[in-house]
Amino acid sequence: MLYLELFIQGLVQGSIYALIALGLTLVYGLLRILHVAHAALFTLGGYIGVIVTNATGSFTLAMLVAMLVVGLAGMLMYKLAYEPLLSQPPYVSLIASIALFIASEEIFRIAFGPYGLSYQTAPLQGHIELFSGFYLKYAEILVMGLSTILMIALAWLSMQTRTGVAWRATVTDPDMARAFGVKIQNVRYLNFFIGSSFAAAAGVLVALLNNLVEPTMGSVASYKALAIIVLGGLGSIRGTLIASLLLGVLESFGTIYIGHLLDRDAIAFAFLILVLMIRPQGLMGGKL
Amino acid sequence: MKKAKIISAVVMSGLLSIATGHASSIKIGFNVPLTGFAAADGKSALNGAELAVEQANAAGGINGDSIVLVVYDDQASPKEAVPIAQKLIEKDEVVAAISGSYSGSTRAAAGIFQEAGVPYIAAYAVHPDITRAGNYVFRTSFVGEVQGRAGAKLMGETLGAKKVSVITLKNDFGKSLAAGLKQAASNYGITIVSEYEYGIKDRQFGPIVSKVKSDKPDAIYATGYFFTAGPLVSQLRAAGITVPIIGQEGYDSQKFIDIAGAAAEGTIITTSLNRDSASIETKNFIREFESKTGNKADMVAASAHTAVKVIVAAMRQSGSMDKAALRNAISATSVVAATGTISFNALGEVRKDVQVQIVKDGNWHEHSVISDSKLLAPPNE
Amino acid sequence: MSYEITLMTTMAISVLFALSLNFITGFCGQISLGHAAFLGAGAYTSAMLSKADVPFLFTIPVAAICAAMLGAIIGLASLRVRHDFLAITTMGVGFLFVGIIRQQDFFGGEIGIAGIPSSGFGKGGFMLICIALALTFAAFSLYVRRSWMGFVFKSIADNEDVTRVLGIDVSRYKLIAFIIGTGTAGVAGALYAHHFRFVGPDSFGFVESISVLAMVIVGGIGSVWGVIFAAALLSVLPMLVQFIDDYKLLFYSGLLFAMMRFSPDGIAGLCTRLFSYIPRRVPDNGGNNR
């Protein structure tokens, strides 16, 4: 019973990680950039979610607005921050991304105050009792459900539509894709839009689970997401998904049973380093 | 022509020095978290301290000299607090200082102030080692252990709990409270059936909540700040746990209630601010704080306010700005403030009643008061 | 005067720390996002020894050795991974270090170690020691850069595979860079512990690692003078300008971003380019400009 609960919680947490890490993996796969500032978009999504819900009373509207606005913000971030740095060595965009992330945390604090925001009347706080003593919050069901839907939608998009094919082609071989008439620029924008809006969804969901958004809520997510995509094998979407869920469950059990040795975040990195030593390309990584 | 210029220059600088000299100010240092995770508490503490300074200056300052608060943001980080302490002492040359910050940074700074012989008052930081830095360091709030012991009495005697699960925040605040609880637990018939820890950045407590549920305790003693306690309490209730949850002054803020929503109802805490207090000092403070800031008063604001009051009273008492004399005056002080009557023992700790507050109808209200002298006696050395 | 001494000491320690990272990342091209762990290793070692009444000067070499041993382990691990993986791995090492330290009461746990005794040399004397050590390492760095070892480092930084093909034992040199860089960070850590008189897990986290990396990059990755200048400036800027202190993080990250966007080779790069616009009568002697 306890184990089942811990497992389900691991899946819930893992779903959130998956939504965030996916955006990171998409960017890396396309541009070989470690997009640390991605977590800032996660936080922005959370803030928009709470503000719109408090203003209009509709959670669904808030989710849609958050995903849209943050998707656009992600595209803007690419245009202003990453595009000019594409010709520089990789550490330049990494540092620029970290700088951007720290700056955005400060901007959130200055703009929204250090206190953090909460929903006035948090939606979906009720729970259902599946069987004796096992409770599941509506919010938790939503997290798992929405993540699954978004992932399936993404898979459908990339496999079954022209845009998706163009996208996969660009990732595999940009020059070839260009030769076939694919507009690389648009693919990149689409990439950032999707990754960022997924992060926004994650932000809104986390705000729902905790009933709190803070300027620094992205910091843990940013490092963990990096660990996850490396764990999964940089650039591999499947690897990222597996790594996310795996880590979620691992943390869930780990905090209870080895919490006295390592704190929660360290568990993620310990696991990562372990895996990298055995398999330097990550769980599902291809070439090194 | 040149002579005239020189004369006018001399006259000007003379006037300038007279002008600045007349408005000589008394500087009190204040380190407080204004950015970082503790920024909310820091802002509140700053407001409380500023209110006290305004009130003191309105009442004539210290013999006509106005008091100035020299404020630096320490991000609740010991690493930041130390250079700030050095700056306050060496550059700003403050006469005394107050910590409006958490235990980690206060503890680091205390050693610096002690060595420099500058009186330092910790407004609400709980770690016992703070006052052990020396006789120049005081504390206007409870030591962690004392509050923990009060919690034991509250749970064992008042609530009749026998089995308790403890959820501890992994820092000096949480740990010293838990230590106090464990010290006194058996005296009140309490068995601690399980203990869990979490980090200050955690907001998802799923695994701990599940485990606690399976432990089936009579009460839960959870330490934390409002931004961890809010989600924790909300998640505990959502999992179907109905037993009393006991918190401490870290919860003491309207924000806790905002975050936990309906789940906050019935949460009980040990703290220093009684919203329903009959004391005039407390009532005035609550009223003036709300009108100055538009926010509801909380423990950190009240504690910072109290600390300033103590220094001001000591300054008026000693009549001189000599730091050693000021230290003696603080040591001998007895002042009625928003958080109770403040007087210090040999270690610089205060002895006052513990206020127990409960969330009722979305607000903090009085639940009871714990005044057991022996139980609440702070350490003497 | 007392306050100025404090500032100078802080600057000297930061310069030493930044130069130690420059050795690894600047000279040898191994990006490290967890360098603060070695500062921490040195600081904790020195702090605990000092509290056990070991004289301050003796704690310095011990701190250096502890940090270097840790550095050797990390160096060995880093041989397995490259570039982005290396960056993340070093970041992970930083988190792991902090995560383990916080859990062990032996290291003071969450609360850290306070009340570290004074160095025994007085404020002025301590400052001189820090400055001396910083200058010594700066001189050493300059020497290495012009030496055979420096040449190999640069070669590895530019193109590791080609270097290996040339018959050079790349692994050995990478390890040497790590050991020297982390050992020196350990020395900086010992000084840190006795300057701030307090060490805790939060003092050596990711933000610290990024800050020192920022100093190296803003200075100009690989440039000794640039890094000295940037480290000295960035370490005391918040204390000198109050406005900066309140918006410190925003200012730092803004500066860092602007640097990356407009001058990724840092201040040294800016200077090089500036001077190249000045017409010279003497032909360039082809110095080691990055």
pLDDT at C72 over 60: yes
What parts of chain B have a pLDDT lower than 50? 1, 8-22
**Chain C touching partners, 3 or more CB pairs below 8 A:** A, B
pLDDT at C85 over 80: no
Tell me: do B232 and B361 sit in the same domain. Answer: yes
State whether B189 and B81 are in the same domain: no
pLDDT at B15: 46
A89 reaches C (C-beta below 8 A): yes
Residue A239 has pLDDT above 50, yes or no: yes
pLDDT at position B89: 93
* Residue B112 with chain C: CB contacts under 8 Å: 197
Q: Could you tell me the pLDDT band of residue A288, with boundaries at 50, 70 and 90?
A: very low
Cβ–Cβ < 8 Å for A225, C91: no
DSSP C115-166: -PPP-SSHHHHHHHHHHHHHHHHHHHHHHHHHSHHHHHHHHHHH-HHHHHHT
Tokens of B13: 């600088």
Q: Which of A249-258, B144-153, C17-26 has the lowest mean pLDDT?
A: A249-258
Question: Considering only CB atoms, which chain C residues are within 8 Å of B172?
Answer: 110-111
Neighbours of C120 (CB within 10 A): 12
Quick one: pLDDT at residue A39? 92
Q: pLDDT tier at A200 (50, 70, 90 boundaries)?
A: very high
B102 and B221 share one domain: no
Which candidate, B126, B226, B105, places its Cα nearest to that of B173?
B126
Domain containing residue B114: 12-142+278-350
A-chain CB neighbours of C80 within 8 Å are: 276-277, 280
For residue C36, give Cα distances in angstroms to B299, C51, C95: 36, 22, 10
Residue A260 has pLDDT above 80, yes or no: no
Question: Does residue B82 lie in a domain region?
Answer: yes
Q: Which residues of chain B lie closer than 8 angstroms to A130, CB-CB?
A: none
Q: Assess C100–A contact: CB distance below 8 Å, yes or no.
A: yes
Name the average pLDDT for chain C: 85
| Number of inter-chain CB pairs under 8 A, A vs B | 106
For chain B, how many structural domains are there in total? Answer: 2
Does residue B367 share a domain with residue B221?
A: yes
Decide if pLDDT at C203 tops 90.
no
**What are the residue ranges of helices labelled H in chain C?**
2-21, 36-51, 56-78, 83-103, 122-146, 148-158, 160-165, 170-196, 206-219, 224-240, 242-246, 248-262, 266-276
Please give the helix or strand (H or E) that residue B325 lies within, else none: helix B323-331
pLDDT at residue C115 tops 70: yes
The confidence band for A29, taking pLDDT boundaries of 50, 70 and 90, is: confident
Kindly state the tokens that stand for B261.
């929503």
**A212: nearest Cα among B293, B42, B226, B298:** B226
Contact C115 B127 (CB under 8 A): no
Residue C100 has pLDDT above 60, yes or no: yes
Same domain, B50 and B83: yes
| Element housing B261 (H / E) | none
B265 shares a domain with B177: yes
- The model's confidence at residue C271, banded by pLDDT at 50, 70 and 90, is confident
The domain that holds B235 is classified in CATH as: 3.40.50.2300
Domain membership of residue B195 (yes or no) is yes
Asked, for residue B7, whether it belongs to a domain, the answer is no
Residue B3 lies in a domain: no
Residue C237 predicted with pLDDT over 90: no
Asked if C95 has any chain A CB less than 8 Å from its own CB, the reply is yes
What's the pLDDT score for residue C137?
A: 94
Q: Is residue B40 part of a domain?
A: yes
pLDDT band at C287 (very low <50, low <70, confident <90, very high): low
Q: Which residues of A touch B (CB under 8 A)?
A: 1-2, 5-6, 9, 12-13, 106, 109, 114-116, 118-119, 121-122, 125, 127, 129, 133, 135, 137, 206, 209-212, 214, 216-217, 219-220, 251-253, 255-256, 259-260, 263-265
pLDDT at A178: 84
**Distance between terminal CA atoms of chain B?**
70
Please indicate, yes or no, if residue B4 is contained in any of the structural domains: no
What pLDDT is stored for residue C290 in this prediction? 43
Domain regions of chain C by residue span: 2-276
At the topology level, CATH places domain C2-276 in: ABC transporter involved in vitamin B12 uptake, BtuC (1.10.3470)
Is residue B99 assigned to a domain? yes
> Which residues of chain A does C215 touch, with a Cβ-Cβ cutoff of 8 Å?
none
Supply the DSSP string of B331-348, one letter for each residue.
HT-EEEETTEEEEB-TTS
- Token pair recorded at residue A282: 């990550």
A256-268 burial, b at 16+ Cβ within 10 Å, e below that, comes to eeebeebbbbbbb
What number is the average pLDDT over the span A87-108? 87
- Chain A residue numbers touching C93 (CB-CB < 8 A): 269, 273
| Rounded Cα distance, C123 and C114, in Å | 19
- A5, A137, A206 member nearest B238 (Cβ): A137
Q: What percent of chain A has pLDDT over 70?
A: 96
Domain ranges in chain A are 19-217
pLDDT at A227: 84
> A273 in contact with C at a CB cutoff of 8 Å?
yes
**Considering only alpha carbons, which residue of chain A is nearest residue B208?**
A256
pLDDT bin (cut points 50, 70, 90) of residue A285 is low
Q: Using an 8 Å Cβ cutoff, are B356 and B244 in contact?
A: no
- pLDDT, tens only, C35-63: 999 999 999 999 999 988 888 889 999 99
pLDDT tens digits for range C207-232 = 889 889 888 988 888 889 999 999 99
Six-digit token string for A86: 């594409």
CB contact under 8 A, B199 and A212: no
Which of the residue ranges A250-254, B52-56, C234-238 has the most confident prediction, judged by mean pLDDT? Answer: B52-56
Q: How far apart are CA C75 and CA C179, in angstroms?
A: 8
Task: Examine residue B381 and state whether it is found in any structural domain, yes or no.
Answer: no
Per-residue pLDDT at C159? 83
End-to-end CA distance of chain C: 38
Residue B70 pLDDT = 94
Closest approach of chain C CAs to the CA of A227, in angstroms? Answer: 7
Asked if B352 contacts B345 with a C-beta cutoff of 8 angstroms, the reply is no
Closest Cα in chain A, distance from residue B318 (Å)? 39
ipTM: 0.79
CA–CA distance, B80 with B112 (Å, rounded to integer): 13
Confidence band, pLDDT 50/70/90 cuts, at residue A286 = low
Residue C280 pLDDT level (bands cut at 50, 70, 90): low
Q: What is the pLDDT of residue B19?
A: 40
* Higher-scoring residue by pLDDT: A160, B329: B329
pLDDT at residue number B277: 87
- Whether residues B62 and B121 share a domain: the answer is yes
Q: Is the pLDDT of residue C289 over 60?
A: no
Confidence of residue C273 (pLDDT cuts 50, 70, 90): confident
B255, A211 in Cβ contact below 8 A? no
